[in-house]
């Protein structure tokens, strides 16, 4: 069975009660875009996961630029290190910031209980991508300032030193590449970031990329994610095999996320599975370490369909307005400005959520190699979260993949097939019980 911390279980139970509690009184509220910036006022608290940008003053600089348009709004930032765990607890009160990132634990159908609407899907879809991801009954409840695609952040110099100059096209080729790195260089071939926990959830986003299937989320809602050949089984099997074959760090419990950026930039680590959002952070680490930022590369998951790599493009965390905020207009102003005008997407070398924006320079190799970027239909996203929560598997949480890594390194008994088959059986049984 999947082990879950007591705190997570308790927080989840509290959140379920909150869904029928404080949110109901204001359900259906809107956060309207202001007509006159000079009349918008108030102090707003903006929650973020970017502890680095808060600590180095970058977020304050964004706020200073924002104040040139909205001089009467004061913006205060709160950076949460373990965002998902902390926000679950805070959302049992009405005090969860004015602007926050929509946490994975909140089921999509419950968005109107916690967040104010930003407008209709028809209206916002003309300008922005990814609106379906936060749409409930035709209204949009969140907006991501950046789009992301999953992939391996890797040190190109280390991979070249190991004799690998082309992206692996299969999991077997990828494992062979990591073995070459281990035997021919001094680098740790792969780094799990096990101790930080949240990076392990990135493995869920192989879904769709392996099969190049825009209906990948629907497949989760209607099928078994760990059936033979299914995307999650392929991804989880690769993670297991990396660890089981001694191609990751020796002791996953001692990993360090912040230190891993510098270590990969220096070539002490070769590869990590993350997302496009991480590229700029690793390149910044290279500059600080005095190494070449251009050594930081990004490659797709090692799978092809008809000779073509695929990568799913999706929103990063979506910003939303707390339905209980006393300053919804100011909060909406921040979200619109931060998405459209802050330069955050360019600063992070990210994929823009604006429909007419070009790809960032860092993804030019994807264009050169003909990687197909797809967007997955999220119409069944709410059902997937419901199945996930009811089954207590946690595909958007780190727990089961920590169990998977423990299994691979011999700290947990059992076989890979039994482990994955158990996940599939629990998922399928829950899905059937829910009538899906």
pLDDT tens, position by position, 231-263: 999 999 999 999 999 999 999 999 999 999 999
pLDDT digits (tens, 9 = 90+) for 279-298: 999 999 999 999 999 999 99
Residues 291 and 384 in one domain: yes
Burial classification of residue 268, based on how many CB atoms lie within 10 Å of its CB (0-12 exposed, 13-18 middle, 19 or more buried): middle
**Which band of pLDDT confidence, cut at 50, 70 and 90, is reported for residue 301?**
very high
| CA 59 vs CA 51, 62, 73, 136: distances in Å | 10, 5, 15, 30
pLDDT digits (tens, 9 = 90+) for 86-142: 999 999 999 999 999 999 889 889 999 999 999 999 999 999 999 989 999 999 999
For residue 435, the model assigns a pLDDT of 83
Give the angle subtended at the CA of 385 by the CAs of 123 and 335, to the nearest 5°. 35
Higher-pLDDT residue of 22, 105: 105
Residues 6+ apart with CB under 8 A from 269: 155, 187, 188, 190, 191, 260, 263
Residues 304 and 329 in one domain: no
**Which band of pLDDT confidence, cut at 50, 70 and 90, is reported for residue 436?**
low
For residue 2, the model assigns a pLDDT of 29
Residues 255 and 334 in one domain: no
> How many C-beta atoms lie closer than 10 Å to residue 208's C-beta?
26
Q: Is the pLDDT of residue 177 over 80?
A: yes
Total domains present in the chain = 2
Residues 297 and 397 in one domain: yes
Lowest mean pLDDT among 164-168, 350-354, 406-410: 350-354
158 within some domain: yes
Residues 259 and 400 in one domain: yes
**Which band of pLDDT confidence, cut at 50, 70 and 90, is reported for residue 151?**
very high
Query: What pTM was estimated for this model as a whole?
Result: 0.79
Percentages helix, strand, coil for the chain, rounded to the nearest 5? Answer: 45, 15, 40
74 within some domain: yes
Max Cα-Cα span within the chain: 64
Residues facing residue 44 across a β-bridge = 75
Residues 307 and 321 in one domain: no
For residue 242, the model assigns a pLDDT of 98
| CA 83 vs CA 50, 142, 227: distances in Å | 10, 17, 31
Candidates 78, 59, 67, 24; CA nearest to 42 is 67
For residue 235, the model assigns a pLDDT of 98
b vs e for 385-401, b when ≥16 Cβ sit within 10 Å of the residue's Cβ?
A: bbbbbebbbbbbbbbbb
1 within some domain: no
| Cα dihedral sign, 229-369-174-283 | negative
Residues 321 and 425 in one domain: no
Q: What is the CA radius of gyration of the chain?
A: 21
Q: Is the pLDDT of residue 21 over 70?
A: no
Residue where one domain finishes, among candidates 350, 375, 397 = 350
296 within some domain: yes
Candidates 226, 221, 186; CA nearest to 210 is 226
Average pLDDT over residues 68-72: 98
Residues facing residue 45 across a β-bridge = 76
Residues 381 and 241 in one domain: yes
**Which band of pLDDT confidence, cut at 50, 70 and 90, is reported for residue 23?**
very low
Average pLDDT over residues 324-344: 97
Quote the mean pLDDT of the chain: 91
For residue 26, the model assigns a pLDDT of 56
Average pLDDT over residues 312-330: 96
**What DSSP character marks residue 117?**
B
Residues 334 and 295 in one domain: no
Q: What CATH number has the domain bearing residue 219?
A: 3.40.190.10
Q: Is the pLDDT of residue 11 over 60?
A: no
Average pLDDT over residues 46-55: 94
Q: For a pLDDT cut of 70, what percent of the chain falls above it?
A: 93
For 192, the domain range is 149-313+353-436
CA distance 156 to 314: 25
Average pLDDT over residues 404-413: 97
For residue 81, the model assigns a pLDDT of 86
52 within some domain: yes
Residues 137 and 218 in one domain: no
């Amino acid at each position: 069975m999947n082990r879950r911390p007591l705190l997570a279980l308790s927080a989840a139970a509290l959140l379920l009660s909150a869904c029928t509690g404080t949110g109901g009184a204001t359900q259906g509220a809107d956060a309207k875009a202001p007509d006159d910036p000079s009349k918008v006022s108030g102090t707003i608290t903006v929650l973020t996961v970017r502890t680095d940008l808060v600590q180095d003053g970058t977020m304050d600089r964004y706020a200073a630029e924002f104040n040139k348009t909205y001089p009467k709004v004061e913006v205060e930032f709160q950076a949460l290190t373990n965002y998902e765990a902390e926000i679950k607890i805070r959302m049992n009160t009405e005090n969860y910031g004015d602007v926050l990132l929509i946490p994975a634990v909140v089921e999509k159908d419950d968005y109107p209980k916690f967040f104010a609407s930003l407008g209709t899907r028809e209206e916002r879809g003309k300008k922005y991508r990814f609106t379906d991801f936060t749409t409930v009954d035709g209204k949009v409840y969140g907006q991501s300032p950046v789009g992301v695609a999953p992939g391996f952040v890797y040190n190109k110099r280390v991979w070249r030193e190991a004799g690998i100059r082309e992206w692996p096209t299969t999991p077997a080729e990828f494992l062979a590449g990591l073995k070459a790195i281990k035997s021919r260089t001094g680098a740790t071939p792969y780094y799990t970031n096990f101790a930080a926990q949240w990076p392990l959830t990135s493995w869920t986003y192989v879904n769709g990329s392996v099969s190049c299937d825009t209906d990948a989320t629907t497949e989760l809602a209607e099928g078994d994610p760990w059936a033979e050949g299914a995307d999650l089984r392929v991804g989880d099997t690769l993670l297991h095999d990396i660890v089981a074959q001694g191609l990751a760090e020796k002791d996953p419990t001692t990993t360090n996320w912040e230190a891993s950026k510098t270590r990969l930039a220096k070539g002490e680590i070769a590869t990590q599975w993350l997302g496009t959002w991480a590229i700029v952070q690793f390149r910044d680490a290279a500059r600080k370490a005095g190494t070449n930022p251009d050594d930081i590369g990004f490659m797709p998951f090692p799978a092809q369909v008809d000779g073509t790599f695929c990568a799913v493009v999706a929103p990063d965390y979506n910003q939303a307005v707390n339905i209980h905020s006393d300053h919804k207009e100011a909060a909406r102003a921040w979200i619109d400005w931060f998405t459209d005008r802050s330069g955050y997407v360019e600063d992070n070398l990210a994929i823009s959520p604006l429909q007419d924006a070009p790809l960032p320079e860092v993804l030019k190799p994807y264009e050169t190699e003909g990687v197909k970027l797809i967007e997955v239909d999220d119409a069944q996203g709410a059902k997937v979260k419901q199945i996930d929560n009811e089954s207590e598997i946690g595909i958007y949480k780190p727990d089961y993949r920590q169990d998977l890594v423990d299994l691979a390194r011999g700290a947990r008994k059992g076989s890979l097939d039994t482990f994955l088959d158990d996940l599939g059986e629990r998922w399928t049984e829950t899905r059937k019980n829910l009538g899906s």
